[in-house]
Amino acid sequence: MSSFPALRMRRGRSSPWMREMLAENRLHPSDFILPMFVCEGSGCEEPIASLRGVSRWSVDRLAERAREAARLGIPCVALFPNTPARLRTDDAAEALNPDNLICRGIRAIKDAVPQIGILTDVALDPYTSHGHDGLTDDRGCVVNDATVEMLVRQAVVQAAAGADIVAPSDMMDGRVGAIRSALEQDGHCDVAIMAYAAKYASAFYGPFRDAVGSKGLLKGDKRSYQMDPANGFEAIREVELDLAEGADMVMVKPGLPYLDVLARVKDTFGVPTFAYQVSGEYAMIEAAAEAGAADRDALILETLMAFKRAGATGVLTYHALDAARLING
């Protein structure tokens, strides 16, 4: 009889109950944040062609989506506006309007579903006529400090409307500290900051720009402020700075192409660390499923588990509702 090592790893995979008992990571609906796109109008649902299954919703339709998320156990929604073209200007003034799409959306959800959290995007690209995340000078270059001043005012407007988490996604230097100081001074001490600390200049953002109406507006690119995909250690420096300035949570964006960065950030700092499974990642999964390359439900759950295994506290994902339904059975 041939000898065999006493330890057989397959024993731990021998049955469903054994695999469940020994699982190192688990998915739960509370791991997810549901992004939602807001549009003008009444009673509107606008399907987004490049994001199959995702729509823009008018303010009066947001509450029903937030209510569904809360029922499934999703703790938070993230709002992104599709600002009408007539309100997009070089100075992004609509970002400071206390009655803009985002602020109306916050109030509508808070009135109808007060138990759910609301995260808002702090950046100017949904409001600028040139598609950049900040203000530009005569040469078309994004200027840091003047942009930070606008972002501070934008964050305070969103907090006053009822946002629970403000999430600066612009990648300007020093904006987290300036926003934290302004929130404290304005009495919004309990409003958290989730900093897009490691946001890369990625090719995976295309469908999102379609969703918020900035596709085709961008003049140039965003490589002077978003991170170079070649760099990993630089992300650690960015996260360290944002935490020192008062960020409560940090984000790595995109998700799957940067799992190494996500793991490194979580291992280094041990702080709440989120991943954004961005629009291009979502579109790839949908395209693979539609082509018959793999089972859609299995793709959704396996990719989300990858984030958890890498150390993510939670994931912003357009698959949040589907994933929560699958987990809840």
In this prediction, residues 135-152 reach a mean pLDDT of 95
Cα(1)–Cα(256) distance, integer angstroms: 47
Cα–Cα distance measured from residue 119 to residue 80, given in angstroms and rounded to the nearest whole number: 9
Does some domain include residue 13?
Answer: no
Residue 175 lies inside a defined structural domain of this protein: yes
Q: Is residue 4 part of a domain?
A: no
Among the options 110, 222, 253, 266, which is catalytic? 253
Tens of pLDDT, residues 82-138: 999 999 999 999 999 999 999 999 999 999 999 999 999 999 999 999 999 999 999
CATH number of the domain residue 146 falls in: 3.20.20.70
Residue 253 falls in the annotated catalytic set: yes
> Is position 177 within any domain?
yes
Q: What is the pLDDT of residue 2?
A: 64
For the chain, what percent of residues have pLDDT higher than 90?
92
Residue span of the structural domain in which 224 resides: 27-328
Residue 199 annotated among the catalytic residues of the structure: yes
Asked whether residue 7 is assigned to any structural domain, the reply reads: no
CA distance 195 to 238: 10
Q: Is position 20 annotated in a ligand binding site? A: no
Q: Answer yes or no: is 18 within a domain.
A: no
Please give the radius of gyration of the chain, using alpha carbons only, rounded to the nearest integer: 20
Residue with tokens 């600002």: 83
Q: What is the pLDDT of residues 155-214, one digit of tens each?
A: 999 999 999 999 999 999 999 999 999 999 999 999 999 999 999 999 999 888 888 877
Q: How confident is the model at residue 4 (pLDDT cuts 50, 70, 90)?
A: confident
Q: Which pLDDT score is estimated for 241?
A: 98
Q: Which position has the token pair 């649902």?
A: 45
- pTM, rounded to two decimals: 0.95
User: Is the bond leading into 126 cis (omega within 30 degrees of zero)?
Assistant: no
Give residue 1's pLDDT band: very low, low, confident or very high (50, 70, 90): low
Our count of domains for the chain comes to 1
pLDDT digit string, tens, across residues 243-269: 999 999 999 999 999 999 999 999 999
> What pLDDT does residue 308 have?
98
Is residue 71 in some structural domain?
Answer: yes
- Residue 216: its pLDDT value, please? 75
The pLDDT value given to residue 17 = 96
Q: What type of residue is 66?
A: A
106/102 Cα distance (integer angstroms): 6
Residue-wise pLDDT tens digits, 24-52: 999 999 999 999 999 999 999 999 999 99
DSSP secondary structure of 34-91: EEEEEESSSS-EEE-TTSTT-EEEEHHHHHHHHHHHHHHT--EEEEEE---GGG-BTT
String of b and e for 242-275 (b: at least 16 CB within 10 Å)? bbebbbbbbbbbbbbebbebbbbbbeeeebbbbb
Kindly state the average pLDDT of the residues 280-305: 97
Is 252 part of a structural domain of the chain?
Answer: yes
Q: Give the model's pLDDT for residue 50.
A: 92
**What is the pLDDT, as a whole number, of residue 209?**
86
Distances in whole angstroms, Cα of residue 220 to Cα of each of 2, 141, 223, 225, 228: 67, 9, 9, 12, 16
Per-residue model confidence (pLDDT) at position 69: 98
